[in-house]
Structure 1
Amino acid sequence: MKIKNETKVGILAALAITLLIIGYNFLKGNSIFTKETKLYATYPQVDGLTVSKPVLINGFQIGRVAALELQGDGSIKATLSIQSQYEIPKNSVARLESTDLLGGKAIMLTLGNDKNIAQDGDALQTNVQKGLMESMQPVQKKAELIIAKMDSILSSVNTILNPNFQKNIDKSFTSIASTLGSLEATSKKVDNLVGSESSKLSAILSNVEAITANFKNNGQKIDAILANINNVTDKFAALNFQQTVTNANKAVADLQTMINDIKGGKGTLGALLNDKQMYDNLNNASKNLDALMIDLKANPKRYVHFSVFGGGNKKDN
């Protein structure tokens, strides 16, 4: 039976369309001839995650992202197509991770230990890991600080390369070289002095060594002498202190006896202080003497008689 050309063209067209559909789904990661389990995962954001991105376990692909759907609360619901031959525990975690520096994302499954297996339509726990660029932010800040310090260093280098600064540095090095030359000359003089006076220095050092040896050999005697001196000074100090205290006590006792005698009316001072009549007599005598002096000043002729020519008769007034 002869096949018509139109039939051949139709068959070829059908095969081409079929191959196109299969190839398109293959490129998208859709499996046509195998059964898949649909699981769901919800993320607050899915930067870099697109449809057909792989679902991996320890780097091994077991499925793909079949669809992404925006929810009413702003979250993103991802449909995960998992090959049916792989069993996923219900408490497994679908972690969204970066796969490259350009921000590409993939779903990394961390298998749980639940004995119950996730069925078609179940939702998995989710977790979003920071992207590589987000993780690099602290490094970026440090790099910015380093760049700022490098800029400061370069500014300092530019200052150093300034001609005037170079002249100052040259002067400084010249001064340092001159100072080193002076130090070298001084050290030579010291060497010459030590060389010329080495015999005297040796003798001095020998004497010092002999003196220290004598001190070392007579150390016990010196300790005994110092101990005796300490004992003598301690005794002398104690003796003087005791004598002083004794004299002070005796003086206080004598003073107390004198006060007691005065209070008892003994002696002239005691009689004067304790005899009321003597006090009155002295007071009256003082008053009479005061009256006599007043009258003497008022009437001196009453008490003194004199004549300019002498030998005159004295008359009583």
Structure 2
Amino acid sequence: MAKTKLENLKLGIFVVFGAALLVVAAYLIGNKQNMFGKTIPISAIFKNANGIQTGNNVRFSGINVGTVKKIEMINDTTIRIHMIVEEKIQNHIKKDAVATIGSDGLVGSMLINIVPGDGTATPIAPGDELQSLSKVATQDMLNTLSLTNENAALLTEDLLKVSRSLTQGKGTFGRLLNDTLMAEDLYQTITNLKHTSRQANIMITEMNSLVHQIDLENSTAGILLKDSISGNRMRSIIANLENSSLEIQNMSLNLNSVIGEFKQGKGAINYLASDTTLVHQLETTMENVTKGVQNFNEVTEALKHNFLTRRYFRKLEKEQQKEVKKAEE
């Protein structure tokens, strides 16, 4: 009988102790999941959940302030993560805070980090949606590193081919590295270019000094440089000179053809120049014409003084005087 009471007492103590442990565990779990404290719901949208699960911690400035309540798939590129945070921390989280997905250490579980903003915005309200920032995932980083390694391998292979070609004397650079004569020729060419550049600099300096010596106010060059009217006149003069040169050239060609025909005995000029009899006849004819003109003038003068024709000549003189006056007016 005493043994039975002792066993019942032990069983009772065990049950009470187990129940106490169960209550403590439930309290701890519930407290961790913010089941017993006052909380407010907030959310954030990400393109990739990166392993976030329901119940993961939500941290603000390194402090656990809530948990992930629900993960909602909106579409293939949008994931909404619902969170609950402690009500007492509400005034510290502003609307410009940014939510990011991180990990608890190098190999720890995933969590939501809330990064504070500049502190000028108003505190969050229940149901607000925070801005999000998706960080590069480890797998993406590994894929990028793998691609970079492949590119580096290809680049190394190409560099190896180039170095082999250079050492074997292939191509222009290979010949430069291995052919001393070509290298000396190139060196001489560069030396000549330097000398030419130096001479060009000297010439430009001299030209600048000549330009500075020009009197832009009084010299002809200054007038041509500054006066657009004089410049246009000079262009017109040059154009006229070009036209005149073309006309003179045509005239020279015509004179050459005439002289050629003259030398070949063609035309009246060559006939006059070669036939002396015709020349004497022409001289005689010209003398007779001159004497005839003189005689005609004498007859005309005599008629002016004749009483029969005097009136006619006076009338002609008056009409000529009237015409001269009209012309003068």
Which of the five TM-score ranges fits, normalised by the shorter chain? Answer: 0.3 to 0.5
Structure number with higher helix proportion: 2
TM-score relative to the length of structure 2: 0.40
